[in-house]
Structure formats: structure tokens, C-alpha cells
Amino acid sequence: MIDFQQLSNKYDTPLYVYDFNEISKNYYELKEAFKARKSMLCYAVKANSNLSLLKHLAVLGSGCDCVSIGEVKRALVAGVQRYKIIFSGVGKRDIEIKEALQKDILMLNLESEEEMYRVEKIAQELKIEARISIRVNPNIDPKTHPYISTGLHENKFGVDIQSAKKMYLYANRSNSLNPIGIHFHIGSQITQTTPFKDAAIVIADLLKSLKAANIDIKFFDVGGGVGIRYKDEETISLYEYAQNIFESLGNQDVTIVCEPGRYLVGNSGYLVTKVLYEKRNDKKRFVIVDAAMNDLLRPSLYRAYHDFELISAKDSKEKSLADIVGPICESGDFLAKDIYMQETQHDDIIVMKSAGAYGFSMSSNYNSRPRAAEVALVDGKDRLIRQREAIEDLLRLEIDFI
């Protein structure tokens, strides 16, 4: 049991709290599912890029999937081994490509033919061979929220099978490109096995034809996307998930790369917030708290549901309909909508659950709100891993206003 009251007394609110033991448990569970084959977990840094959290995963043996050179640098600073780092993303600037090549990471994951030519040119200038993979878009519906669905042709990600084949043949002939990986990622928060299975079959088929053309692909990267329980979702069996991938591959000798983000950290994180006051009108009851959409954007962005717990001094049992809202000047600023909760009073604690993924990493300074502090729990001990921002931190980079 985490003592959120004590943590909020010690660190103030809004506060992110991450249970690192839970992250380890998730890591080992997924690694176990893949144990029958060569595999590598490359944590998707975008889910939560805190350096201590990255270091924790690096110590477990994790690699990283990054989508900017900033994330690559974070991973390296945290001690992730360079040969376990993948750089993906639909738009990479020349300088990012150059730095990634100079840092000699495992591979750049390419998402268009145009990008391939840029990488080739930059590798030529550097007189090196760029290790690459190609993100293939299998046109499979992951049956998740449209904003986090990425494996359909209407999405901007990856290239279709025909274009991928053409790119592999080109890359294989180039002196500056070395195609070593094949990649797909069909979406996030996926709670059914079939879309993963269907995608793996399509891409493994492509892999077979590439091997037949003497293109020596070593890494079969299945992306991330394994969903977690926010409310009452059925989650997939990791065993079945991995078995389907093994079956799609048959006896093809490759290292399976998996890029979990949400699965590793989502349910390990909490956003702790304090009640400021309650407000009612003839239609609604609002519980106004000190965290807002700038701290946790998912409810506003996707109408995502986060379960919550009220820690109150008052022993009231009766619940009524309410919205939990923040102080930001947007009607879309809410953490929960139309939920039933007990009456609250000033300084009661509300803990928003499942906030470890796409929580702090999507936070902003909107309304000039300094971002929350972050705390890690390891074996029951708490440790501050990111200081609360001060308004001075926000003003520091602004110049020439006098």
C-alpha cells in the first residue's frame, strides 16, 4: 500500500509517483513471454522519459525506442547501451540523422523513401554505413482510439509492403545503407490479440521474401502497443501474444525486438493531486483540484478514463455525480467526467491511477503552470527523481522583453 498522504505532505502536489518494483515485474513478465527465442525489449521512451526511470530499465537490460535525438540522448545519458537504441519517427531532421549515425546506435527506423535518401546522403558524407530498418505499415486495424492507431494506410506512419520491398532492394545495393531490421507498430492500447497476430503474419511473410532475395535481416521489430487495464478492459495474454509472433516467424532466424511503452510503466504510475474546493451549479458538481490537463492530458485529448481514489479525512459514504477538473482556462480541462464520488473537502487527496505512461511526458507549461515533481518508489522507499519546476525555470529562456 502506497502512503499517498505522506508523500503529498513530503513533496506537495501535483505529484507523480512511480513504483519501480512494478516496472521491474512488468519487464520480466514480458521478457519471460519471449524466452523461447532471441529477443530484446526496447522501451518506448515517449511513454515516460524520466532519466531515473530509464536508468532503472537500463539496469534490467532494456534497450530504448526513441523518436527524437533528444530521446536518444536521454537514453544514452541514462546508461542504455548504444547498440540497444533504435531511432524511429516520421520526420527526422538532418542534424538528428547525423548525430544518431555518429553515436553509432543500433539502427535508424525509416518511415519513407525520401527519408532513406536523406540518410544515405548523410551516411555518404560521414563515410559510414548506416544500419537501418524500415517501418512497414501492414494496413491492419488495431481497434483502438483513432489518435493512437498507426497501422492503417490512412495513418502517416511507415510505408506499404510494395514500397518497403523497393526500399529494401535499393538499400541492399547501396554502399552507405545496411538494412538489418524490419519494423511494424500498429497502434497503442491494443486489447485484442488478433490485430497483432495479423500484422505479424503479413510482416513475417515480407521478411521471408527479403531473405529469399539475400537481404540479411537480423531484427524483427514488432513495435509496442500492448494495452493495459485503465477501467475494466480485458488485456491480452502475453504468452499468446509471443506465441503468435513465433508462429508467424516459423524457423526464420531473427532477434525479436519489442517496444513496449504503456505496458511497462502505465499502471506503475500515479498522479497525486489535492482538492482545492467544490463548486456546484444547477447542473453540475465540480471537484476542483490542483492538477490539470497540463499535468495529465489524456482525459482531455482522448477522453481517456483514469480510475481514481479519494483519500479523505471525512468519512462520507454517499456518492454523487461529479467532474474532477483542474484550474486551467479550458472547458476541456478535466481529469475525470461524470464519475461518482463522495463529498470532498479542502486538501483531500485524489490519486489518479494508471498515469505512468503518457502522463508526465505529455505535460506542458500551459497557463504558466510549473510541471509536477516526480518521485520513485523502490522497495517501499521514496526518492525525488525530478524537482518540481519553479516559475523561474519557465522564465529562464525568455529574452529581450525590456
Ligand X SMILES: Cc1ncc(COP(=O)(O)O)c(C=O)c1O
Cβ-Cβ contacts under 8 Å for 71 (sequence gap 6 or more): 45, 46, 49, 64
Question: Which residue of 88, 133, 268, 294 would you call a contact of ligand X, by CB under 6 A?
Answer: 88
Question: Which residue of 44, 97, 256, 293 would you call a contact of ligand X, by CB under 6 A?
Answer: 44
Q: Tell the smallest beta-carbon distance from residue 320 to ligand X (Å).
A: 35
Size of the site for ligand X (CB under 6 A): 17
Q: What is the DSSP string of 195-252?
A: HHHHHHHHHHHHHHHHHHTT----EEE----B---SSS-----HHHHHHHHHHHHTT-
Is 47 or 159 the residue whose CB approaches ligand X more closely? 47
Q: Is 65 in the site for ligand X (CB under 6 A)?
A: yes
Do 16 and 374 meet the contact criterion of CB atoms below 8 Å apart? yes
Cα distances (Å, whole numbers) of residue 293 to 28, 62, 82 = 32, 31, 35
Q: Is 259 in the site for ligand X (CB under 6 A)?
A: yes
Q: Tell the smallest beta-carbon distance from residue 223 to ligand X (Å).
A: 5
Question: Which residue of 142, 158, 223, 356 would you call a contact of ligand X, by CB under 6 A?
Answer: 223
Q: Which amino acid is at 18?
A: Y
Question: Which residue of 87, 220, 263, 308 would you call a contact of ligand X, by CB under 6 A?
Answer: 263
Site string for ligand X, 130-169 (x = CB under 6 A): ----------------------------------------
State CA 215 to chain mean position distance.
31
Q: Where are the alpha helices (DSSP H) in 78-213?
A: 94-102, 113-126, 161-173, 193-212
Q: Is 260 in the site for ligand X (CB under 6 A)?
A: yes
How do 39-44 and 319-325 pair as beta strands? unpaired
Is 260 or 299 the residue whose CB approaches ligand X more closely? 260
Q: Tell the smallest beta-carbon distance from residue 89 to ligand X (Å).
A: 8
Is 65 or 348 the residue whose CB approaches ligand X more closely? 65
**Cell, residue 197:** 497476430
Q: Tell the smallest beta-carbon distance from residue 185 to ligand X (Å).
A: 4
| Inter-helix orientation angle 51-60/20-33, to 10° | 40
Is 199 or 226 the residue whose CB approaches ligand X more closely? 226
Q: Tell the smallest beta-carbon distance from residue 261 to ligand X (Å).
A: 3
- 375 phi and psi, to 5 degrees? -130, 140
Q: Is 42 a catalytic residue?
A: no
Q: Is 185 in the site for ligand X (CB under 6 A)?
A: yes
Contacting range for ligand X; rule: CB under 6 A; set: 185-193, 199-207, 209-217, 281-289: 185-193
What b-and-e string marks burial along 141-176, b requiring 16 or more CB atoms within 10 Å of the CB?
ebebeeebbbbbeebebbbebeebbebbeebbebeb
Do 187 and 146 meet the contact criterion of CB atoms below 8 Å apart? no
- Other CB atoms within 10 A of residue 402 CB: 3
Question: Which residue of 262, 298, 306, 371 would you call a contact of ligand X, by CB under 6 A?
Answer: 262
Q: Say which of 42, 64, 258, 329 is annotated catalytic.
A: 329
Cα distances (Å, whole numbers) of residue 29 to 10, 73, 192, 196, 254 = 33, 27, 18, 18, 21
How do 63-66 and 85-87 pair as beta strands? parallel
Is 195 or 223 the residue whose CB approaches ligand X more closely? 223
Question: Which residue of 63, 158, 261, 326 would you call a contact of ligand X, by CB under 6 A?
Answer: 261
Q: Tell the smallest beta-carbon distance from residue 363 to ligand X (Å).
A: 16
Contacting range for ligand X; rule: CB under 6 A; set: 1-9, 255-263, 281-289, 292-300: 255-263
Catalytic residues: 329
Contact set with ligand X (CB under 6 A): 44, 47, 65, 88, 185, 188-189, 223-226, 259-263, 357
